[in-house]
Each structure stands twice: as structure tokens, then as C-alpha cells.
Structure 1
């Protein structure tokens, strides 16, 4: 059997602080990535595509978003199995009931709304789903896999959305528990998981596919689907990650101490990616600079703001230190020069808020000069 395992599409995801065109393009890209998943399924002639939960980001998506998702899937005419996750749980009223009322579900698309085997490939492939019926379940919904009856000689595939106990990194969400030995206890040839947004083999024959389109700065190895080949029941599968992400998310830190470091930051950003328009960057800057270097830094950041898809800068740790050259540059500017000189003395004396005041004065003076 050959399976394409994916999860956590989260169609309609809001992306928080990434507003305007940048956020809108991220939301739009998710449909394009689903089309890419369909293309890969066709290219690799898989028997079924398993989507391990969180197909949709919320229950309140407009009908048009549900229709567009199904349209994006149309490139693969084989079987799709869509599992309700914590964002799109199988509630009494949900995205799943709306799609049924709309009558838009193609015959090859199977929402796994009940804990019962789904059979494919002439009953040679049995998918055992564990749909969430509310956002957080205290019990392990995969427990029924252990006693599930499947046709003799069928490949047994589990499908679930949640947290594998004792295996995820410290601090990871622990809702919707899944036993870390479920594949052994339920005699599964493969357990396809969703919820963790990075690609990860978490236990024997047990994988998180991760989101196919990277959606955060902290995700670990996201942006893939998994091609799973099971030669025959009882034989360990071969799992091949296939890259699918369009946008790439980066986190970087830089300490700035002068003009040379500003040039170095510009060089580092140039080396970040071959296509800045597909990059999102969270940049943390600390250090201490004079006002001339700060002006040069602002110019570099403004250029990269225009080049990158999104740039988020945290410069709370970057403190201005007005130099003699800065004071000379302000000569003739009256009270501004006087205020700057006084603030510099206060900063030297260790007054805690003097550096911030210098920065605000500098910013206001620059805006005034630029009109």
C-alpha cells in the first residue's frame, strides 16, 4: 500500500499580527499548497490521502472556503480521508455537517466522523480513525484500535490527532492523549498523526506529518507531506518526507555595536534566502549604537521590510549611546541639541530611562527632518 499522510492544513488561519496583504497572501497560499498535495498524490499514485485533523482552522469558515478547499483537492481523484481535529471537531453542528447540507462532498472524499474502520483498495487497506468530537478530549480515543476487526491480510493504518504521551518536547500541549505504544498494541502498520506542526517520527511506525505550509516561527521542520510505503502487513513502512511549503519562516538574532555590524546584518539578510519574497523573518537585535549607526540600521531595515514577505523586528535590547559626533550633528538645532546633551549625561550617570529617551528624541527629530 502507498499512502500520502498530511495534516494541519488549517484553512482560514488568521496569522495574528501579520495583517494586510502579507497575511492575506499567507491565507491564500494554503489553497495552493493543498493543490500541491493533490498533485503529489497523483504523481506518486497513492492508494489514499490521509489528512490527520485540522483541515479547517475553525467551525465558522464561510461556505466559500469549504468549497474552495474541495476544489483544491480535485487534482487527485483517488480516496481522501479527512479526520476532524481540535480546530474542526465533529460537533453536532460543524464544518462537516455544513458540507453535508451543501451537498458538495465528492464521492472520493470521506470525512472520518465515526470510530469505525474505513476500507480501501479492495479491502486490502483498513484505516482506523479517531475523530475528535470536541476540542479537548481527556481520554485516549485511539484505544478502540486495539480490538478493531479488519479483513485478514489488510494493512492496518491508524489516523489520529493529538499528543503522544511521554514523547513530545517539554512544554508541548498535552491535550487529546495518544498512547506512545499504540502502534504495537493495535498491531498497526502505521499510525498517521496530526496536531504537532513539524515533521517528526515520534514512536515506532508513528509519525506526525506536520503542516504542509509553514505557519509559524517556532515550528520544527514543518512544510512536508509524508509518502508512506507499506510492502505488506507486519513489515515496517518506508516513510519519505516530500517538501511542500512555499513560504519559509526564520528567526535570527544580531548584536549591533557600530556601523560595521550594520553592514554585517545587511550581508546576513542577503544570505538568508534566494527569494526574499517567500521569507518571513523575526529579527531580534540588541547591543549599543550611536545615533548615526542607528540611522544606518533603520535604513537597512526599511529596505528589507520592502524585500521580505514579512519582517518583525524586536529591538528592545538595542540601546542608543549619543556620541560626540552625534552632538556635533545636532549643533544649531537649539533645544534638541541641549536635550540630547543632558540625556547623554544622565545615561552616563546610570539613569535607567535615559537611553529610551534618547531613542525617542532621535526618532522624533528624524521625522521632523524628513517632513
Structure 2
């Protein structure tokens, strides 16, 4: 009976940049994506994997820095088993393919195989990978179905390796590149194939009813909408129908949405405590969307809390579309400023503007909050 154990991953998108990261944070984010390969090498050894498959989008694009290629290949050379790379829609095998560059060709270690042609690749006796590589960024048809064409159940343990969205998840019913789930499930039912490893979705997800069609997700988080990023899968299967899937964490970064209502000092204290609990801060990106009504003193305190977060986190920014904060300004608080002369007159004018609406009112409220903090009213 043929059996096999392998590590499934996808969507490394090495060389990816995030616009909300400062240069120093972007450098660490780039390094973390290479670190994830080292972590996978450790897991492949720990679980005695026979091979590793990357289900598409190894690189962010075909126009990638040579440094990224060299560091990736150096990390892949540490894998204790063969690694099979499937070109995806980000790094297709077109005329500008990264896999055909001099740098890749020179640095590619012996244990790395690029799956350039659709169809079967013999991994070992009785074990095959059915590959569905992208030859262009715009494919016409179901590449997984093409890879399956002509295959029959003959006792060979087969893994279908493809990249793309399955039809049951696609928002576009007219997308000609969709992968048809029913055809995969039928092939699984007939034991033509025994597992489907998919890339494109950046969150771990099992689709269909067989429990054998899986997206592993990206090994490092890439956006705020991902449900289970930062993981890889350890898959074991055999010709008799045995099949297990186990997830393992390799990612170290987090993208966190904080949508909170703040009206009181207690709300601000809770927000500050929540931010302090996000660790490690230098690998966490926070998107805040705050609603509520604050006094001028509390608005100044909020700005200081967020300023401290800006310094600590890899990234912290406001989700403007969902931010809705109002500020109550009264004469007592203006009097607490303890400023006179032109500063007092300016504060009064800002208060009048802040009572209005629109962008000018927002700027006026921010200016008053800053003045409050500079005058010593804010939290130090």
C-alpha cells in the first residue's frame, strides 16, 4: 500500500509590500516571509515529510529583486526533502517568468522542482503530483480539470496541485478560470486523486464535502480580512483511503482590526489596556475605527494613546471609512487651558469652527486637542 506525508503551503508572495508599513517595518515583514520558509523546513523535518508543495504564487510577481530570489533559494536549500513549486497567477510561466531568470537558474537548489507542465509528476513509487501551473496571468479554462484529464484510478496515490478560486467561492459566475469543485469531488470519490491542495485564498479553508480539498492559506498574514492566516498543512494519505490533515502555525505577524465605541475615560482606559495586550507589537499592525463622543480632555488623551501606539506597533492607522468621533467642547474646558492673549483668542475661534461640520470642523477639533495637550491638559 502506497502512503505519503507532505507539507502543503501556498501564496508566499515573496517580495510583497504593504503600503501602511513604514520602511523599517516593511524590512522586517519581508524578512518574516523568508523566516516562514525556515520554520517550514523545521516542520517538514519534525513530521518526516516526504516532500513540500507550494500551490502557486511563490513570488509576488515576475519582476522581483534578485536579493529576494537568492534569500528564498538559500532558505529552500535547508528543506530536508524535495520542494515542488507551482507557478500561479502572480508568477506565471510567461515570457518574463522569474523561474527563467539567470538569478533563479543559478541559485535554485537541487531539491527544488518547478512544475512547468500540466499533468503528472512522479514523486516516488506509486505517488504522483498532478500539476496545474499558470502559463499566463489570464488563463482560459479550468486548469485543474486539464491536469486531471486522462487520469484513472490505478492504485497510484495522487495529489492534485492547483491555484485559483473554486466555483462555490467565486463572486463572478462568469470567471473562466474558476476551478470546478464537483469535478474534483468526483475524482476524489473514484480515488483517481486522494487530496486537492489549492492556492489563491490566503486563509486556511476546507471546501466541499469530502474533507480532502484544502486551501492552506498564506504562511504570513497579508490583509485584515483573513480568517486563519499564518499556517501550513501536514497531510497524510494512502491508496487505501486513509487521509489526515493537521494545521501548523508558522506566521509571526498579526493584522488586527479594533472597532470600538469610546465615550468615557473608562472606555479609553479599556482601549489602552487592549492595545498594550497585543504582542509582539513590532509584528502587529492595528487598524482602528473609533466611534463615540468625547470631551476635549478625553480626545486629547485618546490622541496620546494612539501616538504611543504609532511608536510601538509595526503599523497603526485609522480606518477612516468607519471612524466617527465627535468632540464636546465647553467653556469650562477652554478655561482649563490656562492660556491668554492670542492663544486664548485662537482657542475660542477654533471652538466655534469645531462646533460646525465638515473637514474644517475636524481640523479645528484636532487643533484644540493638540492645544489642550501642549497646555498640560492631556495625559502625560
TM-score w.r.t. length of structure 2:
0.87
> Is residue 203 of structure 2 the alignment partner of residue 198 of structure 1?
yes
Supply the distance in 2 between the matched residues of 1:353 and 1:67 (Cα, whole angstroms). Answer: 48
> Is residue 183 of structure 2 the alignment partner of residue 177 of structure 1?
no
Q: 1:83-131 CA distances to partner (integer Å, 9 max, x unpaired)? A: 0011100112311111587333222211011112111122x21101111
Q: Which runs of 5+ in 2 are unaligned?
A: none
> Is residue 250 of structure 2 the alignment partner of residue 250 of structure 1?
no
Residues 1-371 of structure 1 mapped to structure 2, 5 A cutoff: 1-98=4-101, 102-122=105-125, 124-149=126-151, 152-167=154-169, 170=171, 176-186=177-187, 187-203=192-208, 204=210, 205-233=212-240, 235=241, 237-273=243-279, 275-314=280-319, 316-341=323-348, 344=351, 351-352=357-358, 355-362=361-368, 365=371
| Count of aligned pairs between the two proteins | 365
TM superposition shift of 1:323: 2.3
Supply the distance in 1 between the matched residues of 2:111 and 2:310 (Cα, whole angstroms). Answer: 44
Helix, strand or coil: the match of 1:181?
Answer: helix
Helix, strand or coil: the match of 2:35?
Answer: helix
Q: 1:341-365 CA distances to partner (integer Å, 9 max, x unpaired)? A: 45545666x6556642431432563
Helix, strand or coil: the match of 1:230?
Answer: strand
Supply the distance in 2 between the matched residues of 1:299 and 1:288 (Cα, whole angstroms). Answer: 17
CA RMSD in angstroms, aligned pairs only: 2.6
Helix, strand or coil: the match of 1:178?
Answer: coil
Supply the distance in 2 between the matched residues of 1:353 and 1:14 (Cα, whole angstroms). Answer: 31
Supply the distance in 2 between the matched residues of 1:96 and 1:227 (Cα, whole angstroms). Answer: 26
Q: 1:315-366 CA distances to partner (integer Å, 9 max, x unpaired)? A: 6411222123321124543344345445545666x65566424314325636
Q: Compared with structure 1, are the counterparts of its residues 31 and 62 closer, same or farther at alpha carbon in structure 2 (3 Å cutoff)?
A: same
Helix, strand or coil: the match of 2:20?
Answer: coil
Q: Compared with structure 1, are the counterparts of its residues 79 and 89 closer, same or farther at alpha carbon in structure 2 (3 Å cutoff)?
A: same
Q: 1:185-244 CA distances to partner (integer Å, 9 max, x unpaired)? A: 4332011000000000012311001001112211121111000010325x1521111111
Helix, strand or coil: the match of 1:281?
Answer: strand
CA contact (8 A) 1:167 1:180 kept: no
CA contact (8 A) 1:163 1:174 kept: no
Q: Which runs of 5+ in 1 are unaligned?
A: none
CA contact (8 A) 2:337 2:372 kept: no
Q: Compared with structure 1, are the counterparts of its residues 173 and 276 closer, same or farther at alpha carbon in structure 2 (3 Å cutoff)?
A: farther
CA contact (8 A) 1:340 1:358 kept: no
CA contact (8 A) 1:9 1:213 kept: yes
TM-score w.r.t. length of structure 1:
0.89
CA contact (8 A) 1:162 1:175 kept: no
Supply the distance in 2 between the matched residues of 1:9 and 1:357 (Cα, whole angstroms). Answer: 41
Helix, strand or coil: the match of 1:164?
Answer: coil
Supply the distance in 2 between the matched residues of 1:51 and 1:325 (Cα, whole angstroms). Answer: 63
